[in-house]
Structures are given as C-alpha cells and as structure tokens.
Amino acid sequence: MSTLTPYLNVAVRAAKTAGGILKRGLTQPPQVSYKDDTSLVTDVDIRAEQAIIAQISRRFPDHDILSEEGQGKQRCASYRWIIDPLDGTTNYVHRFPFFCVSVGLEYRGRMVVGVAYDPIRRELFHAERGSGAYLNGQPIVVSSVGHLDHALLVTGFSQDIRTRPGNAFTVFQRVSRKVQAVRRSGSSVLDLCYVAAGRLDGFWEMKLKPWDTAAGSLILIEAGGRISNFSGKRFSIYDLEVLASNRRLHAGLLSAISP
C-alpha cells in the first residue's frame, strides 16, 4: 500500500483489520444486543470499531471520528472520519454472507476518501476524490444500461418499517413495475459499491445515516455514477433519502420514485 496517499493508506489498513475481526467472529456465535426492536449490535461490531478508531487516532489524533456505535470523538476539526465497522449486521448475525466494513473521510463537508471492504469475497472498493474508483486495484465504472426495463436495481427498508412504513412499499411497487428486477441485500454500502462496479444499475433507500453512504457515495461518483436525493438535488451524506444510478437511468428513476 506504499503507493497510496496517507489518508487512503490508513483507511485501507483499518478496513482490512476490521474485516479480519468480522471474519474471525464467524467461527463462534456473536453476542447480540438490541438498540431497539429490530436494530442489532454485536460484540464484533464493537471490537471492529475500536480497531478502526485506534488506527485512525494513532495516525491522525486531531481528526474527528463519527462512528455508528458511538465510540468516536468530535472536536469540530476540518477532517472527519465516518465509519461503519459492520454494515449489514442483521446479515452477519444470521450468517448471510453479505456485509462489509466502511471507512470514509470527509474534509470540510466533502467526501475525499471512501473504502469498503468485504472480507468474505476479499473485495476492497476504494476511491479518492478526483482519482477514480477501484476494486482490488482495478478501475471500475458504472453500467451502460439505458432503459429502466433492462435495469437491475437494489433497495432497502429502514429499521422502523414495522411502525413507520410511510410510502416505502408504495415506492417499491411503483419502481418494480418499471424495471427488470429489484433486489434487497441488507448492506447499503455494498449496494452503492455494486452500482459503482456495474453489477447493479441503481439503488434507492430512505432514512439512512451518514455511515451508510459516506464511503459508498464517493466510490459511486468516482466510478461515473450519479447520486441525489429524491428531488434530484445534490446529495449530502446527512440527507434521509438517497437515489444512486449509472447516470443514464437517473431521470427515469426520479420520475418513478417521485412521480
């Protein structure tokens, strides 16, 4: 990793360290607790997050860290690391092999580094602003699908879908009628990376958190994709809505989601 910039180097090393913790954790039943009725956290989440924070803090002690499990630190610094030690915790608990580590770096409100690591497939997605997107060191680009009826999409539902369904199912039905197929994977980070790599053509979801989109949004943009909110406006990782696509499908998806 000597050819990587210092920020990207730390992000990659931290993600791989955490990925090793996740993979080793599969050899024994996880210790599971609940944040609420459906949202899980495991002892592996906590250990992986601690490992990431330790590596970042050792190299960049003055940087802020925003983390899903709340072990980060906030000093109002220009640099903020945004991490999810285990995106896809429900998948992980059930031993469904679709989850990853996400490490992103924000500088003055803009994402500048994004890393996502899938330890099961040993797939490392990474991007730096202005330098393209990569999978295991090879450049990736979004798909060239230009018609909704040929598109494979992915979506997700928020943790409070039981009590606050909103219009999530209505949107799902409406979009499903216009495309070739829709999947639900359980990892928004990998969803964004898969759109970036051309494996999927688009992704939408509501009520996400910054760590769900920080790294993946930059990887998608650097792969040539487009990301916005449901109104088509410029996306922020602090938005509650995300629509990502290969760019060619974006206008059609906006119309399907918000007619």
Task: Convert the pLDDT of each residue in 220-238 to its tens digit.
Answer: 999 999 999 999 999 999 9
Kindly report the average pLDDT of the chain as a whole number: 92
The pTM of the whole model exceeds 0.85? yes
Sheet holding 226-228, edge to edge: 181-184, 152-155, 202-206, 241-245, 226-228
Determine how many CB atoms are found less than 10 A away from the CB of residue 37.
9
Structure tokens, 187 = 């990892």
- Report the candidate in 138, 112, 136 with the shortest Cα–Cα distance to residue 6: 112
Structure tokens at 86: 């285990």
Whether residue 155 is predicted with pLDDT greater than 80 in this model: the reply is yes
Instruction: Annotate 140-163 with DSSP letters as a single string.
Output: --------GGG-EEEE---TTTTT
- Look up the CATH architecture of domain 6-139: 2-Layer Sandwich (3.30)
Q: Is the predicted pLDDT of residue 1 greater than 50, yes or no? A: no
Longest pairwise C-alpha distance within the chain: 50
- Locate the domains of the chain by residue range: 6-139, 148-257
Q: Which of 84, 95, 90 is nearest to 26 (CA)?
A: 95
Q: Can you tell me the distance from the alpha carbon of 68 to that of 128, in angstroms, rounded to the nearest whole number?
A: 22
Q: Which helix (H) or strand (E) holds 21?
A: helix 6-25
100-107/138-139 β-pairing: unpaired
Residue 2 has pLDDT above 90, yes or no: no
Which residues 6+ apart lie within 8 Å of 116 measured at CB? Answer: 15, 87, 100, 101, 102, 103, 124, 125, 126, 189, 190, 192, 193, 215, 216, 219
The answer on pLDDT for 259 being more than 90 is no
Q: What is the pLDDT of residue 166?
A: 65
Q: Indicate whether 205 pLDDT > 60.
A: yes
What is the CATH T-level fold of the domain 148-257, as seen in this structure? D-Maltodextrin-Binding Protein; domain 2 (3.40.190)
Inter-helix orientation angle 188-196/210-222, to 10°: 0
Indicate if the pLDDT at residue 31 is higher than 90. no
